[in-house]
Amino acid sequence: MNEFELIQNYFNWPLSDPGIELGIGDDAAIFNLDSGYQLVTTTDTLSEGVHFFKNDSPEDIAYKSLAVNLSDIAAMGATAKCFTLALTLPKLDEIWLKQFSQSLKQTSKKYNVSLIGGDTTRGPLNITITMMGVVEKSKAIKRSGARNGDNIYVSGEIGDAALCLKKINAGERPHKAELIKLNRPIPRIELGSALKGIANSCIDISDGLEQDLSHIIKASKVGAMVAIQELPLSQSMIKYIESNDDWALPLCGGDDYELCFTAPENFNSEIINIAEFCKIKITKIGVINDSKDLKIKGYDGQGQSYQHF
């Protein structure tokens, strides 16, 4: 099987989005943009040994590669449309490829995004996806929009993915529900979109709340006060903290892909409605101030959020 057969066999499925004028098969793809919309694009790489374990299932790897990119588009309040895939494989393993491509196809159908191109090469296993989305002109929610007095909110619960990873690294076997938090994060697409016109700033929590919220305050030239007692935690995380007092895990653990956003107090009831509509927990964890620093009440540890280098 050569490269072209590989693409044909595993990655060239029929697309239904009428916005795609040209998908896989030419030098480049063509996607039509409606007038009044802007293109929003992001790239995320998943590497073996860094972002997933050697023996992780191809289905989980495919799902997560898409989910982390969808999460970035969601954090902008945009709607994901199409993506390209750069796949580096150590060898041509047809069983692996079949499982990977089936999961990728299934996940892309679920989230209504189309694979429109990519590249394949040989090397250590690495999956790079570039996701493209659209948003009404000037409506994207940026990191730089937080204002003094904004409430700070977080969706879902944080730290569970890091807790699961900690258990694996300690040789423990996490429960299935815990593994789902690590391997199958849910991109908060509906929430991101609903926050347009309401949130002043937004980021997805990929590297840890402490670090990702720091990105918001730096970009917005503001400060923030957050209280650990307000953090939304799962029962297993509460149990973990009761015995370890390790607040660094929910504060600095990454891979949750929940949204952290800020909004003025007068939108609070609207945000409660959005939480109900999206069937998702949204918790107020603090307030933006003009201090230029991030203060975490009840936590005196140093930042231990995920660093790539």
Binding status of residue 258 toward Mg ion by CB under 5 A: no
25-33, 131-139, 200-208, 232-240 -> range binding Mg ion (CB under 5 A): 200-208
69-77, 133-141, 164-172, 258-266 -> range binding Mg ion (CB under 5 A): 69-77
Interacting residue with Mg ion among 72, 157, 207, 256 (CB under 5 A) = 72
Q: Which residues pair with 122 in a beta bridge?
A: 89
12-20, 26-34, 66-74, 253-261 -> range binding Mg ion (CB under 5 A): 66-74
Backbone torsions φ then ψ of 69, nearest 5 degrees: -75, -40
**Residue 201: what residue type?**
S
Binding status of residue 256 toward Mg ion by CB under 5 A: no
The encoded tokens of residue 229 equal: 């007692």
Of the candidates 232, 286, 214, which has an alpha carbon nearest to the alpha carbon of residue 241? 232
> Cβ 206 to Mg ion, closest distance in Å?
5
Q: Which is nearer to Mg ion, 44 or 157 (CB)?
A: 44
Q: Which is nearer to Mg ion, 105 or 215 (CB)?
A: 215
93-101, 168-176, 196-204, 256-264 -> range binding Mg ion (CB under 5 A): 196-204
| Site for Mg ion, residues 22 to 61, rule: CB under 5 A | none
Q: Which is nearer to Mg ion, 174 or 192 (CB)?
A: 192
Q: Return the half-sphere exposure (C-beta side, CA atoms, 13 A cut-off) of residue 139.
A: 21
Q: What is the per-residue burial (b if ≥16 Cβ within 10 Å, else e) of 213-222?
A: bbebbeebeb
Of the candidates 187, 225, 220, which has an alpha carbon nearest to the alpha carbon of residue 201? 220
Binding status of residue 204 toward Mg ion by CB under 5 A: yes
> Cβ 77 to Mg ion, closest distance in Å?
13
Backbone torsions φ then ψ of 293, nearest 5 degrees: -120, 160
Q: Which helix (H) or strand (E) holds 244?
A: helix 235-244
> Cβ 262 to Mg ion, closest distance in Å?
15
**Local structure of 223: helix, strand or coil:** strand
Q: Which is nearer to Mg ion, 204 or 210 (CB)?
A: 204
Interface map 206-225 toward Mg ion (x if CB under 5 A): x-------------------
Q: Are 98 and 116 in contact (CB under 8 A)?
A: no
- The CA distance from 132 to 129, in Å, is 10
> Cβ 194 to Mg ion, closest distance in Å?
18
Q: Which is nearer to Mg ion, 75 or 271 (CB)?
A: 75
43-51, 204-212, 226-234, 282-290 -> range binding Mg ion (CB under 5 A): 204-212
Q: Which residues pair with 39 in a beta bridge?
A: 134
28: number of Cβ within 10 Å? 8
**Local structure of 69: helix, strand or coil:** helix
Provide the binding-site residues for Mg ion, judged by CB under 5 A.
72, 204, 206
